[in-house]
């Protein structure tokens, strides 16, 4: 899944008006789409943790359908009404030349949220009942669909890059949702319905008490992306920063994604005997691998090859991206550590600490962004990555502090 963003950025950069369309995609469309879908992001973790029997599954499914429908209606309101101009022009202060491309792209992305809600919910069921390979196959289905649309758009050459990118990702999430829905049917019939009933959530209210802190965490997490875009729009070289942003963030996300799935692994395996020691060792390996790979790219000519040859950025954008990448180096390691401690808190069902930690991130990162806007001393994309890196470090320290009691219990019981 992490390959999507680099692929789309590379295609947009090779189509007409690349700088404008890259900025529209990375600076407006993708951040807003992520923010709208934020309340359903943690459905994967919640479903993995709680879909233990048929009754719990039904409660979670009810929430998924309500949330998917409500957020899709919200997406429609943002994309098709004057609310778009209020958010993008008034609040985000986006450059004038990217407004209309961004409006078109966000409209094409309408199926995004409900498809993701449905897919992540059912993927949690698959993981819970030992079918994690099906999740990987679903990702392959999604990438195939995305690749086909991107290839058609590239070969045709007449469509705007923002149209090709958003059509590709919308078709991809729809294809993956369809595959996951078909794949989970047998699991529901043969395993979930026959599972021995456990301590039930009993009612939707009980589930919401567990899930609302997770949803708030996702919303706060996704808020950082449009917050970064809005900050870049108010700093030097705004359009260039917004154009370099999706390419650089796609590269960083590829390395951060190595640790993202670790959250669900923690939830699924922490109940096993001696799991804490094994998971701790695996955490350390993930940190070394993810951070080492990004450092290798940043410190060698690979970054030149990635940004210039593969991503097709202009020389000035290449220079901007190669300078900013050094400030992203803490991100992969912090992603692994966040997943590790969030998994512990999820296992103990003390999800409030996860939300509080994200609040710490936003306060720290927001303060640095405010200084960047006030002093105007550096390009926006560099300041944003400084803010996100320092904020992520602060978030890690808070998570480790809040999970100390649960970690101690795991060491005693599970190791």
Angle, alpha carbons 201-204-209 (nearest 5°): 75
pTM for the full model?
Answer: 0.84
pLDDT of residue 346: 80
Angle, alpha carbons 366-395-288 (nearest 5°): 120
Q: What is the mean pLDDT of the segment spanning 350-371?
A: 91
CA distance 315 to 336: 33
pLDDT grade, residue 152 (50/70/90)?
A: very high
For the chain, give the number of residues.
Answer: 415
Residue ranges of domains in the chain = 1-204, 234-415
CA distance 109 to 28: 12
| pLDDT tens-place string over residues 23-51 | 999 999 999 999 999 989 888 878 887 88
Residue 382's Cβ-side half-sphere holds a number of Cα atoms within 13 Å equal to 17
| pLDDT tens-place string over residues 66-110 | 999 999 999 999 999 999 999 999 999 999 999 999 999 999 999
Among the ranges given (18-27, 212-221, 303-312), the one the predictor scored with the smallest mean pLDDT: 212-221
2, pLDDT greater than 90: no
Q: What percent of the chain has pLDDT over 90?
A: 68
pLDDT of residue 272: 77
CA distance 267 to 10: 35
Give φ, ψ of 201 to 5 degrees. -70, -20
pLDDT of residue 349: 72
The set of residues, in sequence order, having a beta carbon less than 8 Å from that of 411 and lying 6+ positions away, is 276
Residue 145's Cβ-side half-sphere holds a number of Cα atoms within 13 Å equal to 21
Q: What is the mean pLDDT of the segment spanning 359-382?
A: 94
Give φ, ψ of 131 to 5 degrees. -120, 45
| pLDDT tens-place string over residues 188-239 | 999 999 888 766 555 666 677 777 777 887 788 888 889 999 999 999 999 9
pLDDT of residue 413: 58
- Residue 199's region, left for phi above 0, alpha for psi from -120 to 50, else beta, is beta
CA distance 256 to 191: 33
């Amino acid at each position: 899944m992490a390959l999507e963003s680099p692929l789309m950025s590379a295609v947009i950069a090779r189509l007409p008006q690349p700088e404008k369309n890259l900025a529209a995609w990375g600076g407006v469309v993708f951040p807003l789409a992520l923010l709208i879908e934020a309340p359903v992001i943690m459905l994967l973790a919640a479903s993995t943790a709680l879909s233990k029997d048929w009754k719990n599954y039904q409660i979670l499914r009810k929430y998924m359908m309500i949330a998917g429908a409500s957020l899709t209606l919200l997406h429609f309101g943002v994309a098709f009404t004057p609310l778009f101009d209020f958010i993008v022009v008034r609040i985000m202060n986006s450059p004038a030349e990217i407004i209309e491309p961004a409006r078109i792209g966000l409209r094409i992305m309408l199926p995004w949220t409900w498809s993701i809600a449905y897919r992540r919910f059912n993927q949690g069921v698959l993981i819970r009942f030992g079918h994690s390979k099906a999740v990987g196959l679903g990702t392959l289905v999604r990438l195939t669909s995305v690749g086909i649309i991107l290839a058609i758009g590239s070969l045709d050459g007449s469509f705007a890059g923002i149209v090709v990118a958003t059509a590709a990702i919308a078709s991809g999430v729809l294809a993956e949702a369809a595959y996951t829905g078909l794949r989970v049917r047998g699991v529901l019939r043969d395993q979930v319905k026959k599972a021995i009933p456990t301590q039930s959530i009993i009612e939707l209210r009980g589930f919401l008490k567990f899930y609302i802190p997770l949803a708030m965490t996702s919303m706060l997490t996704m808020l950082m992306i449009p917050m970064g875009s809005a900050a870049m729009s108010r700093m030097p070289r705004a359009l260039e920063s917004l154009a370099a942003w999706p390419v650089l963030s796609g590269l960083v996300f590829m390395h951060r994604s190595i640790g993202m799935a670790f959250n669900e692994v923690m939830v699924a395996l922490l109940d096993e005997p001696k799991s804490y020691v094994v998971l701790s060792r695996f955490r350390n390996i993930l940190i070394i691998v993810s951070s080492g790979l990004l450092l290798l790219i940043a410190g060698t000519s690979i970054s030149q090859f990635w940004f210039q040859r593969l991503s097709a950025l202009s020389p000035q954008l290449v220079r901007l991206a190669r300078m900013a990448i050094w400030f992203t180096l803490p991100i992969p390691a912090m992603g692994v550590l966040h997943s590790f401690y969030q998994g512990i808190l999820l296992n103990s069902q003390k999800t409030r600490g996860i939300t509080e930690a994200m609040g710490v991130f936003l306060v720290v990162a927001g303060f640095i962004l405010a200084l960047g806007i006030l002093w105007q001393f550096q390009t926006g994309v560099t300041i944003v990555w400084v803010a996100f890196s320092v904020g992520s470090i602060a978030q890690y320290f808070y998570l480790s502090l809040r999970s100390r009691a649960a970690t101690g219990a795991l060491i005693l019981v599970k190791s």
